[in-house]
Amino acid sequence: VQLQASGGGLVQPGGSLRLSCAASGSFVRINDMGWYRQAPGKQRELVASISRGGSTNYVDSVKGRFTISRDNAENTASLQMNNLKPEDTGVYYCNAEIRVAWGRDVTPRWGQGTLVTVSS
């Protein structure tokens, strides 16, 4: 099972970016999906998550600016980031809780990370 993240880049403050995450390989179900970020010198933190049913959760600092969504049929998740601020800079990682087979435990999988830099 692999998670492929894309969409990072350099953007000016106030700008927008859209991150995408696609799961591939052999599995039977994806439960929660989420985006984490790690800023330089800081621990990785959860930015946003979405359940299979569409319930969302955001860290306070991005509420009203970021929107997480998913497509269960396509096994993808996206993070729309608007009004970006310099403090949003970091490496963003896609995460998914995946069940590879019925009767097996759900395990977390990580994408490779995509760099978001917000700077003028």
In this prediction, residue 4 carries a pLDDT of: 95
| Pairing status of strand 106-110 against strand 45-50 | unpaired
Transcribe 27-79 into DSSP letters.
-SEEEEEEEEEE-TTS--EEEEEE-TT--EEE-GGGTTTEEEEEETTTTEEEE
Contact 71, 54 (CB under 8 A): no
Mean pLDDT for the stretch of residues 9-30 = 96
Contact 118, 15 (CB under 8 A): yes
For residue range 75-107, list pLDDT tens digits in order.
999 999 999 999 999 999 999 999 999 998 999
Among residues 66, 74, 68, which one has the least CA distance to residue 54? 68
In this prediction, residue 7 carries a pLDDT of: 95
For residue range 23-82, list pLDDT tens digits in order.
999 999 999 999 999 998 999 999 999 999 999 999 999 999 999 999 999 999 999 999
In this prediction, residue 79 carries a pLDDT of: 98
